[in-house]
Amino acid sequence: MTGDDDRAIPHTAAGPAAPGDPVRRRLLEAPLEMVGQFADASNATLLVRLRDRDRRSLDEVVAELGHEPSVEDLDPSDLAVYKPRRGETPLWDFPEGTLHAREVAAFEVSDCLGWDLVPATVRRSDAPFGVGSLQRFVPHDPEQHYFWLLEHGEDAVVRQLQAMVVFDLLIDNADRKGGHVLLEQPGSSTPPDPAAPRIQLVDHGVSFSTEPKLRTVAWHFAGEPVPPRLRDDVAVLAADFDRRLRPRLDGLLDDTELATLVARAGRLADLAVFPHPQGPRPFPWPLL
């Protein structure tokens, strides 16, 4: 299940994202229009449309199609997933009103590592229901979730899943369900290279706790060696945390959460093998 060639792990230049990044700029600036709601989400999770390229209203789209549009009827590069703060279900073990900020923080960590695991995500205040996270929509087949990828995925995908395990250890993801692992399909604004299929990870609202809460389906690599490149990337991040990552997390995590994050990064830099299930509740429920 392991692979020695790390070149298949998508890797971008680490450090602060360029201000001119077109995907993030669109998420921050494009006019938004509500499309629908994801009914099975525990917190308000809404599909919105960016109208800077296609200025037709949804009503005009309906009139042209002759029916209510499905996701397949819309350009996926114009879609985004919006999670407003006011739609968050209060949790006893996470500060109220912070889940959307943790979604943004997860992207910032992935981006700073250069692993390209989390779709571009920003915090936006002028959205339909106020401040919340806004994330690039990832076109995917919901049947191709973590368990399917583990069985059918190419070596390139398996190596990305290994990176996901280290990423979840770093952010202490308390809810890595199989359905939160997406294999990106062609047709997005940043189409994947057919020679190197790309996974994208979503739903990180219950991450970055100051107490261990890791819950994940991805224990299949337990006991196998952690690829050196992954350890090296985390070591670089830990050594230069204050300059490279702390400014990007300002206002998203509090000081105690930041201190816990950098301490975890220091420990993970020396992680020789993937861990076995740990804690009283190592698996999420449901698994998908």
Helices assigned H by DSSP within the chain: 22-29, 58-65, 99-113, 146-152, 155-171, 228-239, 241-244, 255-268
Which sign, positive or negative, has the C-alpha torsion 180, 184, 187, 191? positive
Taking only the tens of pLDDT, the chain with its 288 residues reads: 444 444 344 444 333 444 568 999 999 999 999 999 988 888 899 999 999 998 888 888 889 988 888 888 899 999 999 999 999 999 999 999 999 999 999 999 999 999 999 999 999 999 999 999 999 999 999 999 999 999 987 899 999 999 999 999 999 999 999 999 999 986 544 555 555 679 999 999 999 999 999 999 999 999 999 999 999 999 999 999 999 999 999 999 999 999 999 999 999 999 999 999 988 899 999 999
- Identity of residue 67: H
Nearest Cα residue to 173 out of 220, 213, 221, 113: 213
What is the residue extent of each domain of the chain?
A: 6-268
Instruction: Give the count of beta carbons closer than 10 Å to the beta carbon of residue 85.
Output: 21
CA 255 vs. chain centroid, Å, equals 22
Provide the 3-class DSSP secondary structure of residue 156.
helix
Q: How many CB atoms lie within 10 A of CB 271?
A: 16
In whole angstroms, give the CA distance from residue 141 to residue 120: 19
Single pTM value for the model: 0.90
